[in-house]
Amino acid sequence: METASAAKSATQATNKSTSNQPKYEIVKEIGKGSFGKVSQVRRTADGKLLVWKEINYGSMSEREKQLLVSEVNILRELRHPNITRYYDRVINKDHAKLYIVMEYCAGGDLANMIRQRKKQLRDSRNQDLNAYVPEETAWKILSQLTLALLECHMRKDGNKILHRDLKPGNVFFDSD
């Protein structure tokens, strides 16, 4: 496991701005997946909290690397209020890592919301009616998810995007 100081030095060595200051500082790790890990970062220019998805591309085949480049290009083009916004990418060639910098969604994800509600119901022996997601909230989530997918499937430029990893853990909420 990488130590915090090793992560910090790797971060500072790879995301320098023109003034030789790091563009991003790691705040905390917020998740891990098969692709790598996700960390909350602070953009040093203005203090804005963002996340970056760290992807180790060193062991990827050429085809996988091409798909990764395509994914970054797609993310860069997407602009919709219900799609997590892309901000930047940082490449660390020395460590064969790509960091995709995206909007920070402070409200967590749908998978976590479902887990919390299930636990609340279990702990109350199905008596806590507040554990159920209000119908209005469910409709809001469904409509925003549908609008985001519509944006991907019916793009004005004619290039349709198919989301291949749609699951509750990839549906993020802002702080509202």
The residues annotated with a catalytic role in the active site are 165
Tell me the C-alpha distance between 157 and 149, whole Å: 15
| Strand-by-strand arrangement of the 49-56 sheet | 24-32, 36-43, 49-56, 97-103, 86-92
Using left for φ > 0, alpha for ψ between -120 and 50, and beta otherwise, residue 36 falls in: left
Structure tokens at 140: 């809001």
Could you give the CA distance from residue 8 to residue 18 in angstroms, rounded to a whole number? 19
CA distance to 18, 24, 31, 45, per residue, from 49 (Å): 20, 9, 16, 11
What is the distance of C-alpha 70 from the center of its chain?
A: 17
Q: Could you tell me if 13 and 20 are in contact, meaning their C-beta atoms sit under 8 angstroms apart?
A: no
